[in-house]
Amino acid sequence: MSEIATHLAHIRETLPAGVTLVAVSKTHPAEMIREAYEAGQRIFGESRPQELREKYETLPRDVEWHMIGHLQTNKIKYIAPFVAMIQSVDSARLVEAIQKEAAKCGRVIDILLEIHVAAEETKTGWDPAELHDYLATNPFAALPNLRVRGVMGIATNTDDEAVIRRDFDALRHCFEELRPHFGEAFDTLSMGMSHDYRLAVACGSTMVRVGSSIFGERDYSK
Ligand SMILES: *Cc1c(COP(=O)(O)O)cnc(C)c1O
């Protein structure tokens, strides 16, 4: 087995049924994604639209691509024709722009609402109170090309498990509070990365986004 296949097998063993694994392949070359694909992985997460587009063009068509990084409205066009899910939806402006591009392609795009729960100021996402006010205007009733599938979030980058747990509990709380607003399709709570996905699963995650534990450390200088 290749190293990537070994890592994948190990992670899958630790995930309960019903938890989806997104293999975060950002910065890594298409050959490494192909190795994971050959080991049976089909869902990959990327954080840059052009990079995602290039990889889409070189890899098999049954890959499900998830956009997980901050998305600028003028870049949606690169991914709108094929992206399976946009997890990093963090503003009303972005919601409207994705609707527009999805309509142009005649598609319905699955999205997650990214919620800011971490202590760091720099992390993107909706403040829960702001999101609450936004949803009170019932915006999605007029956005037929979007399907809101759930919420996504990133915990504080710390070794303190109590802090990470607090963040995951906050995300789960948002998820449960919003559920009645959206109904059945709202079934995804995306939280947990390489260093904290086990705790995320214990806190109710249904989708983990794991990069470095599968592909190794990223080199951003390339
Ligand atoms: C990069 C990234 C991940 C994966 O991080 P690892 O620590 O490599 O597992 C998960 N989620 C988001 C939003 C990311 O940007």
Domains by residue range for the chain, with CATH: 3-215 (3.20.20.10)
Ligand 1 centroid – CA 69 distance (Å): 9
User: 146 in ligand 1 pocket by Cβ < 6 Å?
Assistant: no
Q: State how far the alpha carbon of 196 is from the alpha carbons of 145, 160, 192, in Å.
A: 33, 11, 5
pTM of the model: 0.96
Say what the alpha-carbon torsion angle 164, 168, 171, 173 is, to the nearest 10 degrees. Answer: -120
Instruction: Give the H/E segment covering residue 97.
Output: helix 92-105
Q: What pLDDT is stored for residue 222 in this prediction?
A: 57
Ligand 1 centroid – CA 217 distance (Å): 11
Ligand 1 centroid – CA 140 distance (Å): 28
- Alpha carbons 199 and 136: distance in angstroms, whole number: 32
Say what the alpha-carbon torsion angle 62, 198, 110, 133 is, to the nearest 10 degrees. Answer: -170
User: 24 in ligand 1 pocket by Cβ < 6 Å?
Assistant: yes
- Ligand 1 atom closest to Cα of residue 22: 10
DSSP state, residue 206: S
Neighbours of 165 (CB within 10 A): 16
User: 210 in ligand 1 pocket by Cβ < 6 Å?
Assistant: yes
Query: Which residue's alpha carbon is at the smallest distance from atom 15 of ligand 1?
Result: 69
Ligand 1 centroid – CA 20 distance (Å): 15
Ligand 1 centroid – CA 1 distance (Å): 24
User: 123 in ligand 1 pocket by Cβ < 6 Å?
Assistant: no
Render each residue's pLDDT in the chain as its tens digit; 222 residues: 789 999 999 999 999 999 999 999 999 999 999 999 999 999 999 999 999 999 999 999 999 999 999 999 999 999 999 999 999 999 999 999 999 999 999 999 999 999 999 887 776 899 999 999 999 999 998 899 999 999 999 999 999 999 999 999 999 999 999 999 998 999 999 999 999 999 999 999 999 999 999 999 988 765
